[in-house]
Structures are given as C-alpha cells and as structure tokens.
Chain A
Amino acid sequence: MMLVKSNIDMELDIEAIRKDFPILSRTVNGKPLIYFDNGATAQKPTLVIDAIENYYKHQNANIHRGVHTLSQEITVAYENARATIQNHLNATHAHEIIFTAGTTASINLLASSFSKKFLSKGDEIIISAMEHHSNILPWQQACEEKGAVLKVIPINAEGELLLDEYSKLLSEKTKIVAVTHISNTLGTINPIKEIITLAHAKNIPVMIDGAQAVPHTAVDVKELDCDFYVFSGHKLFGPTGVGILYGKEKWLNKLPPYQIGGGTIKTVTFEKTEYADLPLKFEAGTPHISGGIGLAKAIDYINTIGLDKIAAYEHTLLEYATERLEKIEGLKIIGRAKNKASVISFVVNGIHPFDIGTILDQLGIAVRTGHHCTQPLMQFYDIPGTIRASFAFYNTKQEIDEFVKSLERAINMLR
C-alpha cells in the first residue's frame, strides 16, 4: 500500500537519517528504543563517532605546541573546526569562538570574568523565570560576591516572557542580561531579537543561552547582534564535554581570563604574565580536541540536512504529539507558548511524573521526568516536576503513536 507522505517527509528521508544514528537500532528492556530525551542530550551520527575514532587512531597530538607534523596537522584540524563553528554562527572572527566544556562551563566563564571586571555593589543582572539552573547559579553567585541584585523577567501562565515587565527592569543599574533562547522545560522560543534590541537601547550587553536552540534553529549572531551566545556540543549531535562561548571581540578583549595556565599566555616570569590574544586567553590547558573536531562534524552533518527542513519537520512532530496528548484525560501540557520548539512537558492528574517515566522506560521509551534543572519554574506552576518528551529530526510520528499508547497503558496501571 502506498503511504501518503507530506512534502517535508519526502524532503527529509527519515529512514535514511535514522540509519546514520547507530544507537537508534538498539533495544531497551526488550523493546525498540524510542528516544524522546533529546533535550537532555542528542544521539550521535556515525560521521561524528568516526571522526572521534579517527582522531585517536590517526591524528592524536597536542595542538598549538609542537613543530612536528602530527601537532601541526591536528592544530589545523582544530582551527578548521573553530572556523566551521564561526561560519555556522555567522560570527565575524574565528577568535570570537571560545571552546569550553559545555554551556554550563561557558556561562561560568562569562559570569566569573564579567562580574570580576564589570559588576559592583548595587548593580543588577537580569535573567528570566524560565532559566535552567546553569543560567541562574553562576549569576546568583556573582551577585552575592559583589553585592549586586539578580532581577527576574516574569512569565505568563502559557510560559511566555512578559516583555513589558522586562522593559521596566532595564535600568542604568543593569550590567548584563542573560536569557535562554529556548526553554528546556517549556519549549518556549523567546523573542531574543527584541530582548537584545531593548537592552542595547540602554547599552546593556546580552548573553543568550542557546543550549536548547542550536539543534532546532539556525543562529546568526550578527543578525541577532547578541554580545554572547553559548551552547553545548552534545545537544547538537556532537560529543559531550565540548561547548562554545561566542562573544563579540570587543567584549572578549575586555574580559579577564577565567582559568589560567598552559596555553593562555604570551610570556611568563615570576613577576608578571602577559596573556595571549583571543581565543587562547580563555582556553587554558589541553582542550577536548576530539570534541571540537566532532562538534564541527556534527555541524557539517546538520547543515547537509538543513536546519530549515529540520525545524519544519520537528514542528510537524510537535503539532502531532500535542494534538494526540491533549486527548488523554487528565493530561495537562505545561508550556503553551505560541512559539514553541519540539519540546512537550506535561503532567497527568494524580500521577507522579517519576511513576510514568519508570513505566515508559520498561516499554523502551526514554523521556525525562523531574524538575529539569528549573526548580523556580516548577514553583511557578506549583508542580513537583513534569514528564518531558523532546523530539529530534530522527523521531517519527509512528514513535509518537507508540509513545501515546504506552503512556495510556502507564496511566491505566498507575490510576
């Protein structure tokens, strides 16, 4: 029988794409794996896995150090990876791309270096009510250390930022705004362009947490005009332990180094150290070389598929899953923003998310349960946690059908 497929389905050959991800063919608890925990980490295509293996088998040497051939080759490969990321973000310079260990490391670096230089008693930092703990704690600590105040942009019941309230928070006391591009818990896509423009009108720099955004949408830092943009490699189908801090050259040059040591210097005497130029100033020690190379491969891979196609396809998954889940009695979707990425959080009346997650796991379905490192958000909705299904472009409507069936089974068992 001929199956009617949508244009997007045909454009994205999902069956072929799924073959690129070896893990998708495994079973869990005797059932075919349905991986709906992409918000936590995404699976890796063979291309990325091969690049990592190839590095250790044929390329391993330290970068920026040796005169020998291996070191020179890998330095070129690593710097090419940086250039790939630069192009992907449309950054002006390659040295605006700082390799870190991940989003959390990027924010820690920025919060520490920025507050050391620019934060004083009575100053204010603005974040939002839907931030991941990783974009709360570093700023909270910076504020505590400097006697500054953390201000929070409130949200409405749908899970959208209240921009009027945000405008009111911006003042001459505000030193930086740090908000998420896409909420990991609610899926809300924030109007970051507007957020940036409003801050810039008062000469306030803005950092965008792009951890959840980069797998779903193209990011153009020049067009956004953001001052800093951070994300992780592993949510973007790349390796764990590598991430990016993009910063405008003018800002990065003003910031003091964060971790210091090998690789961050021009000259060292016991009296004084002259630090290296960007990006090395912020890249102390031997970096995660295979991570950087693997991340660039992952970016090449998604660009071959096309982020616009990915976003369109994922949107159909989101709409389909929303429509199916809404029909389940007692199920409530948390986060009903008009502009949403393929993340659905929900609660089921009278049943703890942990119970549902446990049963779904038995049925081979990986979802996330809990507070998703957004406890203030759980407090706002007055819930202990949610069940979160987050989709990637290798997921299918058939998997959603299976998920809904399994969810109904779990609910019946637990009621």
Chain B
Amino acid sequence: MKIEEIESEIVEEFEMFDDWMQKYEHIIDLGKSLPMIEEKYKTEDKIIKGCQSRVWLHSELINGKVVFTADSDAIITKGMVALMIRVLSDHTPDEIINAKLEFIDKIGLTKHLSPTRSNGLVSMIKQMKLDAIAFKAKS
C-alpha cells in the first residue's frame, strides 16, 4: 500500500470516534500493539532527542525499503510512534522523504506538532526522515 493510502485508512479509522477520549483510547491501544524494538537496540544513541518521554527508534534497510521499529516509555507517545511506523515503515527512502503526512492534521493530532508538546511527534518524524535520507545517501 502507498503511504497516502495508509494515511486515508487511518483517517477513516479515526472518523469513527465521537470524541477525543475515544481517539486517545485508540492511540493507547495502538501503543500496546506496537511491535517492540529488540532490547539490544534500546540504547542511548537510539533515543530521539526532544521528547518528554523516551522514544527509541531503530531503522534497517531491507530489500530497498526502510523498516522501522520503536518503543517508548509513555504509552500515548508509543501509540503515536505506532501510527508513524504504520504509515512510513516498509517504504523506500524516497517515499518516506517525500511523505507529506497530512493525516496528522486530519485526525486532529496537529496540536502534538506544536512546540509546547515537547516536540515529541515533530522529533519523531524528523528522525524517521533523517534515517531515510541516510539510507538514500548510502545506496
């Protein structure tokens, strides 16, 4: 599936919820279902700077596609990472670099992009794109 298609799928999923508490419950569930990063990758250098909670992100290039795994010590953050992984993982570096990620606004998560939210989501997206750029440069 293309990145935009996955985004649309998520937008539809979130349209089912009436209020923000339900959205958060969903994000929390997503967080609980996140494929955990392997323990050996939960190292200091894998921590994304700028989050109030700790987020570990690991990326690998497998058959020309970037595969992300991650973890966080905060469950809502983890849910947001899970969403980002669902959208971006298993795509080529170019697709990831060019992704506009408009779904964030559409599902009402925009306020997590503001600097007051300790930049958790912003830092996450930035790191995922930086990893993609690094893989592209190497190939």
Residues of A within 8 A of B (CB): 29, 351-355, 358-359, 362, 369-370, 384-385, 413-414
Residues in chain B near residue A414, CB distance under 8 A = 28, 75-76
Task: Name 17 A/B residue pairs within 8 A (Cβ), A-sorted.
Answer: A351-B75, A352-B53, A352-B73, A352-B74, A354-B52, A354-B53, A354-B76, A354-B77, A355-B53, A358-B76, A359-B24, A362-B20, A384-B73, A413-B21, A413-B25, A414-B75, A414-B76
A369 to B53 Cα, complex, angstroms: 10
Q: Is B54 an interface residue (CB 8 A)?
A: yes
As a 0/1 sequence over residues 48 to 87 of chain B, the CB contacts with chain A under 8 angstroms (1 = contact) are: 0000111000000000000000000111110000000000
CB pair B75 A370 closer than 8 Å = no
CB pair B52 A369 closer than 8 Å = yes
Q: Is B118 an interface residue (CB 8 A)?
A: yes
Residues in chain B near residue A385, CB distance under 8 A = 52
A362-B21 contact, Cβ under 8 Å, with A352-B53, A369-B52, A384-B73: yes
A414 to B79 Cα, complex, angstroms: 12
Residues in chain A near residue B25, CB distance under 8 A = 413
Residues in chain B near residue A384, CB distance under 8 A = 53-54, 73
A351 to B75 Cα, complex, angstroms: 8
CB pair B75 A352 closer than 8 Å = yes
Report, nearest first, the 8 A-B pairs whose CB atoms are least far apart. Answer: A352-B74, A354-B74, A354-B53, A354-B52, A355-B76, A355-B74, A362-B20, A370-B52
Residues in chain A near residue B74, CB distance under 8 A = 352, 354-355
A352 to B21 Cα, complex, angstroms: 18
- How close is B77's CB to chain A, nearest CB, in angstroms? 7
- How close is B33's CB to chain A, nearest CB, in angstroms? 15
Known: A362-B20, A384-B53. 9 other contacts (CB 8 A): A352-B53, A352-B74, A352-B75, A352-B77, A355-B75, A358-B24, A359-B21, A370-B118, A413-B21
A414 to B24 Cα, complex, angstroms: 10
- How close is A393's CB to chain B, nearest CB, in angstroms? 26
As a 0/1 sequence over residues 1 to 38 of chain B, the CB contacts with chain A under 8 angstroms (1 = contact) are: 00000000000000000001100110010000000000
- How close is A381's CB to chain B, nearest CB, in angstroms? 16
Interface range for B: 10 to 19
Query: Nearest A residue to B53 by beta-carbon distance?
Result: A354
A414 to B52 Cα, complex, angstroms: 17
A355 to B76 Cα, complex, angstroms: 6
Query: Nearest A residue to B117 by beta-carbon distance?
Result: A358
Residues in chain A near residue B76, CB distance under 8 A = 354-355, 358-359, 414
Query: Nearest B residue to A385 by beta-carbon distance?
Result: B52
A372 to B21 Cα, complex, angstroms: 26
Query: Nearest B residue to A414 by beta-carbon distance?
Result: B75
- How close is A64's CB to chain B, nearest CB, in angstroms? 37
- How close is B53's CB to chain A, nearest CB, in angstroms? 5
Residues in chain A near residue B24, CB distance under 8 A = 358-359, 362, 413
A280 to B76 Cα, complex, angstroms: 51
Q: Which residues of B, 94-108, contact A by the 8 Å Cβ criterion?
A: none
A354 to B81 Cα, complex, angstroms: 15
Query: Nearest B residue to A384 by beta-carbon distance?
Result: B73
A157 to B13 Cα, complex, angstroms: 47
- How close is B139's CB to chain A, nearest CB, in angstroms? 36
- How close is A247's CB to chain B, nearest CB, in angstroms? 35
A369 to B74 Cα, complex, angstroms: 12
Residues in chain A near residue B73, CB distance under 8 A = 352, 384
A384 to B77 Cα, complex, angstroms: 14
Residues in chain A near residue B120, CB distance under 8 A = 354
A355 to B52 Cα, complex, angstroms: 10
- How close is B50's CB to chain A, nearest CB, in angstroms? 12
A355 to B21 Cα, complex, angstroms: 13
A413-B28 contact, Cβ under 8 Å, with A354-B52, A355-B76: yes
- How close is B87's CB to chain A, nearest CB, in angstroms? 21
- How close is B101's CB to chain A, nearest CB, in angstroms? 20
Query: Nearest A residue to B77 by beta-carbon distance?
Result: A354
A405 to B103 Cα, complex, angstroms: 33
A235 to B25 Cα, complex, angstroms: 35
- How close is B94's CB to chain A, nearest CB, in angstroms? 33
Residues in chain B near residue A369, CB distance under 8 A = 52
A126 to B120 Cα, complex, angstroms: 35
A358 to B21 Cα, complex, angstroms: 11
A353 to B118 Cα, complex, angstroms: 13
Residues in chain B near residue A359, CB distance under 8 A = 21, 24, 76
A255 to B53 Cα, complex, angstroms: 42
CB pair A29 B52 closer than 8 Å = no
- How close is B54's CB to chain A, nearest CB, in angstroms? 7
**Max chain B C-beta neighbours (<10 A), residue from A353, A355, A370:** A355
A369 to B117 Cα, complex, angstroms: 11
A414 to B28 Cα, complex, angstroms: 7
A362 to B20 Cα, complex, angstroms: 7
- How close is A28's CB to chain B, nearest CB, in angstroms? 12
- How close is A83's CB to chain B, nearest CB, in angstroms? 37
Query: Nearest B residue to A352 by beta-carbon distance?
Result: B74
A207 to B75 Cα, complex, angstroms: 41
